[in-house]
Chain A
Amino acid sequence: MADAIRPDSADALAAIIADTASDGTRLRLRGGGSKDAIGAPTPDARIVDMRGFSGVVDYDPPELVLTVKAGTPLAEVQALVADKGQMLAFDPFDHGAMLGGADGEATIGGIVAAGVAGPTRVSRGATRDHLLGFEGVSGRGERFVAGAKVVKNVTGYDLSKLITGSWGRLAAMTELTLKVLPAPRLRLTLGVAGLDPAAAVAAMARAMGSAAEVSAAAHLPNRQGSPLTLIRLDGFPSSVEARATIVDRLVDGIAPLADPEAAALWTAIASATDLPAGVPLWRIVAPAAQMHGVIASVTGDWLMDWAGGLLWLASPDDPQAIRAAAERAGGHAMLVRADAAMRAVVPALHPQPKPLAALEERVRRAFDPAGVFETGRF
């Protein structure tokens, strides 16, 4: 692997990309490297280390807007907003430990590029719902801006949606503007033991569909020997208390869990760190009401987040079989963790139907005509 390049200005980055576009080298954009082990290995690609773009550009808490350089560590951003009683509401998490490394390296740019959203995504929206705008450099080596630095804007195409989760294949983001929200004063986790997957999904759906304003709901099939279904309520204490009585009426036998154990459970759910490490790890997104069908047709260990809409699956099963099960449920499966040999032959992202794949290809070429960012990783 060639040496990494670490530009420290957007102009320098633009020059690197423009030069590369003409000599056929491929560029792999990298933040802290916490997700290096996702996707096919790319031995020939040149790494662009984006951590030269670091620091806060503007943060005015009552405006609910934060502008930050893309290479700023996630932990730094989270500490900054927490200090003002706010949060990144899409609940991003670090992939370091999940992928056999250490937490703490993830950058905010990497989080956005990978569209990483945690348990409260089910109630507060995905990463893409909180990216208001960005500055970046396209595969043509041109600096451009998209979106804006206010919370409400429909001027021009919403390129912020497109770049979120694009895994560095459209443009190199140098600066991001994110919507931030007040952090809840209280988080209360309620738990009920003993539900099978279908009953758990049904219980979570009842709670999600009620006035209890559930912020997260998850199901662990084997927590110390028994299934455990979790419902979380966030907000002002008087409100959380009132909503807990609603959940209590809807789900028999549910009761509060104590912190800090409950908080630790949510962290483990977000990054699936309690699932066995030695087997391939899949991330399956499908309508919650269909997820039990996926569970019934695979082997391995799993957990459900997003009220059943997200299945983390550690399974040695045939990738085709897993993807077919996800498709039957109206969803898709991403290969998040596997050894290099498997990643070289099994694409990380779920293959798209042909006409859609062709359109995606044209959209990628609209940003990156020479394929500078097409490293073969995805």
Chain B
Amino acid sequence: MPAPDQTVLARRGEIVAAMRAIVPGEGVIDTPDGLRPYESDALTAYRQPPMVVVLPETTEQVAAILRWCHANHVKVVPRGAGTSLSGGALPLADGVLLGMARFNRILEVDYADRLAVVQPGVTNLAITRAVEDEGFYYAPDPSSQIACTIGGNVAENSGGVHCLKYGLTTNNVLGVEFVTIEGEVLRVGGRGLEPAGLDLLGIIVGSEGLLGVVTEVTVRLLPRPETARALLIGFPEVEGAGRCVADVIAAGIIPAGMEMMDKPAVHAAEAFVQVGYPLDVEALLIVELDGPAAECSHLLEEVETIARANGAVSIRISTDDAERVAFWAGRKAAFPAAGRLAPDYLCMDGTIPRRRLPDVLTRMRALSEQYGLGVINVFHAGDGNLHPLILYDANKPGELEQAEAFGADILRLCVEVGGVLTGEHGVGVEKRDLMPVMFSPVDLAQQQRVKCAFDPELLLNPGKMFPELHRCAELGRMHVHRGALPFPDLPRF
């Protein structure tokens, strides 16, 4: 992270007082004990208590906080529920942590236009809970949906197991109100299907808190499908499972979810939850189909035929919802199951073209041996999003560093085969330094100029996403030719 600014640290008392003037009562936290719960998000390998935590309740307060911080050149890190797996909400020692948890109201549900207007601190699952009696739901379902907030989902463009069919957050948000670092309250998008001008909403979603602070979100609601059924399919080799996935899609079927687990993941999950997963297979597929009952039974048959043609050795089809949920229980327990295999694990999040899966898994096993660290693989097979879980023990000196190096090698491998560093968890601090693997200096400079259009002084969530923060004035001048900066060895200030 950027080195703390000593002059800002020296002004801590003044900054806390200014925050108290804006947010009265218990909305400002500055005691060591009070700050500790905020020192990390779900990427717990990184910890840093913030200078002060502020928990505003109104858009006006958010605007006043940002206006003051902008005028006084104080950095701001926005935070939702703190469930980021990439360190998106990691605080700064010299920064204000702006917690949005008190923005927890559902403001309006409009069934005619199938949308809900909610505050950013509302949890992902709470939206579905509020509308399910009317037969609707909010589609993106990150695994942390019981805790993660919609504001955090907007920042990270969160996904979930159903995004091949229903999209990520960006495909399910119609509009937001947000506050700029200068304290200006703006609305982009709205309740209609298209914005009037540039699609600024599209750039704010997934911007990891670097462009503005979202204070209201309008989400699209979908009618709940009539039925959902799942198949549990075991394969004697990964290649067959990979071909099965490709053939399902080639047959014109987009399943609601299509998940793959490798043998170590199957064993870990089964030992943890005992749902009857077959233990003698190299790869296990869960394929969920939703829609009218007639469609589901037709597609179940088609998928079963495709699976057999690709050498499936075991196939179970859910007969009721309890059985479908049981199929998923093992997959959903993969992370805690990994927690029983080793004291710590790192969850990676690369995406690859699916056709490269067998090759990538083979090379990942070789890396596992090279680093002497175990890895288990769960995989959103439909969209090529890998979640290798690297097992390590943080108490053994050097093992965290080894695990991180292993993870970085996996992500480099993903990019090398034509994929990306992150499919749904975000760059944050975790993958920040790997950005040049995927993007040239010119590509990164172009992205950073967008940042400069919103936040020219780089006060919002600095240290995330970009490996180096160039001053905006410098970006305006810098000319980059064929991917090489002029005078690359010259220091830049």
Enumerate B196-247 residues with CB–CB distance to A below 8 Å.
Answer: 196-203, 205-207, 223-226, 246-247
Structural contact, B299 and A236, CB atoms closer than 8 A:
yes
Residues of B within 8 A of A158 (CB): 157, 170, 202-203, 205-206
Contacts A142-B442, A151-B383: A242 and B450 contacting too (C-beta < 8 A)?
no
1/0 per residue, CB under 8 A from B, across A29-51: the answer is 00000000000000000000000
Asked, given contacts A63-B354, A238-B295, A243-B292, whether A151 binds B422 with beta carbons under 8 Å apart, the answer is no
- Whether the pair A157, B197 counts as a contact (CB closer than 8 A) is no
B171 at the interface (CB under 8 A from A): yes
How many angstroms between the C-alpha atoms of A211 and B112 in the bound complex?
15
- How long is the Cα–Cα vector from A159 to B435 in the complex, in angstroms? 15
* Identity of the chain B residue whose Cβ is nearest the Cβ of A332 in the assembled complex: B196
In chain B, what residue has the closest Cβ to A182?
A: B252
A277 CB–B CB distance under 8 Å: no
B10 within 8 A of A: no
CA of A183 to CA of B205 in the docked complex: distance in angstroms? 29
A369 at the A/B interface (Cβ < 8 Å)? yes
Q: Is the CB of A360 within 8 A of B200?
A: yes
Across the interface, which residues of B come within 8 angstroms of A209, CB to CB?
Answer: 111-112, 114, 135-136, 223
Given the interface pairs A60-B355, A144-B446, A359-B200, the reply to whether A125 lies near B171 with Cβ below 8 Å is: yes
Q: Which residues of B contact A260 (CB under 8 A)?
A: none
State in angstroms the CA–CA spacing of A286 and B174 once bound together.
12
Are A236 and B295 in contact (CB-based, < 8 A)? yes
B197 / chain A contacts, CB cutoff of 8 Å = 349-350, 352, 356-357, 360
Interface band, chain B: 35 or more
Residues A152 and B168 in contact in the complex (CB < 8 Å), given A60-B353, A183-B252, A235-B295: yes
Bound: A61/B252 CA distance, A: 10
Contacts of A62 in B (CB 8 A): 246-247, 249-250, 354-355
In the complex the two chains form, is B249's CB within 8 Å of A126's CB?
no
B451 contact set on A, CB distance < 8 A: 157
| A287 surroundings in chain B (CB, below 8 A) | 110, 113, 190-192
Q: Are B419 and A150 interface neighbours, CB within 8 A?
A: yes
Docked CA distance A342–B253 (Å): 48
Residues of B contacting A154 in the complex (Cβ-Cβ under 8 angstroms): 156-157, 159, 168, 206, 422-427
Instruction: State the Cβ distance, A101 to closest chain B Cβ, in Å.
Output: 24
A315 to chain B: which residues have CB within 8 Å? Answer: none
Interface stretch, picked from A160-168, A266-274, A295-303, is A160-168
Residue A66 lies at the interface, judged by CB distance under 8 Å to chain B: no
Hey, what's the 0/1 contact readout for A346-360 against B, CB within 8 Å counting as 1?
000110100111011
Contact A150 B420 (CB under 8 A): yes
Q: How far is the CA of A128 from the CA of B206 in the complex (A)?
A: 14
Report chain A residues within 8 Å CB of B454.
Answer: 359, 362
Min distance, Cβ B160 to any Cβ of chain A, angstroms: 11
How far apart are the CA atoms of A368 and B431 in the complex, in Å?
29
Kindly provide the distance from the CB of A202 to the nearest chain B CB, expressed in whole angstroms: 8
**Cβ < 8 Å to A, chain B residues 457-487:** 465, 476, 479-480
Q: Which residues of A contact B409 (CB under 8 A)?
A: none
> With A and B bound together, what is the CA distance between A182 and B476 in angstroms?
44
Interface residue from A149, A162, A242 paired with B292 (Cβ < 8 Å): A242
Closest beta carbon of chain B to A118's beta carbon, Å? 12
Q: How far is the CB of B113 from chain A (nearest CB, A)?
A: 5
Q: Are B171 and A211 in contact (CB under 8 A)?
A: no
Give Cα distance in the complex from A357 to B250, angstroms.
44
A285: CB under 8 A from chain B?
yes
CA distance A106 to B438 in the complex (A): 32
A121 touches B193 (CB 8 A): yes
Q: Flag whether A12 is at the interface (Cβ < 8 A).
A: no
| A264, B354: Cα distance in complex, Å | 37
Chain A contact-residue range equals: 35 or more
Enumerate chain B residues within 8 angstroms of A246, measured Cβ to Cβ. 292
B410-430: which have CB < 8 Å to A? 418-427
Q: How far is the CB of A323 from chain B (nearest CB, A)?
A: 10
Min CB–CB distance B40 → chain A (angstroms)? 21
- Given A211-B224, A236-B298, A150-B194 contact (CB < 8 Å): no
In the complex the two chains form, what is the Cα distance from A327 to B293 in whole Å?
42
Residues in B neighbouring A5, C-beta threshold 8 A: none
With A and B bound together, what is the CA distance between A286 and B193 in angstroms?
7
The answer to whether A211 touches B226 (Cβ under 8 A) is yes
CB distance from A43 to the nearest CB of B (A): 24
Q: How does the 8 Å CB contact mask read for A180-195 relative to B, with 1 for contact and 0 for none?
A: 0111110000000000
A244, B318: Cα distance in complex, Å: 26
The interface residues of chain B lying within 8 Å CB-to-CB of A65 are 353
B294 at the interface (CB under 8 A from A): yes
B110 — nearest CB in chain A belongs to which residue?
A: A289
Contact B206 A146 (CB under 8 A): no
A153 beta carbon closer than 8 Å to chain B:
yes
Q: Which residues of A contact B3 (CB under 8 A)?
A: none
Are the C-beta atoms of A61 and B199 separated by less than 8 Å?
A: no
A13 lies within 8 A of chain B by Cβ: no
- Choose from B157, B171, B223, B465 the contact partner of A210 (Cβ within 8 Å): B223
In the complex, A241→B170 CA distance in Å? 32
Scoring B180, B196, B207 by chain A CB atoms within 10 A of each residue's CB, the highest score goes to B196
Is the Cβ of A159 less than 8 Å from the Cβ of B447? yes
Per the 8 Å Cβ criterion, residues 194-245 of A in contact with B are 202, 205, 208-211, 213, 235-236, 238-239, 241-243
Query: Which residues from B are CB-within-8-Å of A238?
Result: 294-295, 298
Q: Does A280 contact B (CB under 8 A)?
A: no
- A211 CB to closest chain B CB, in angstroms? 4
Nearest chain A CB to B365's CB is how many angstroms away?
Answer: 22
In Å, the complex CA distance between A56 and B384 comes to 22
Question: Which 6 interchain pairs have the tightest Cβ spacing?
Answer: A161-B202, A239-B295, A182-B252, A332-B196, A62-B246, A366-B449
Q: B residues near A, CB below 8 A?
A: 110-114, 135-136, 156-157, 159, 163-164, 167-168, 170-171, 180, 184, 186-188, 190-194, 196-203, 205-207, 223-226, 246-247, 249-254, 291-295, 298-299, 351-355, 380, 383-385, 418-427, 431, 435, 438-440, 442-444, 446-447, 449-454, 465, 476, 479-480
Q: Give 25 pairs: A residue, B residue, CB < 8 Å, sorted on A.
A: A62-B246, A63-B354, A115-B199, A144-B443, A150-B351, A150-B423, A151-B383, A152-B163, A152-B385, A152-B423, A153-B422, A154-B206, A155-B435, A161-B199, A162-B198, A182-B252, A184-B252, A209-B135, A209-B223, A213-B292, A241-B294, A310-B193, A356-B188, A362-B454, A363-B453
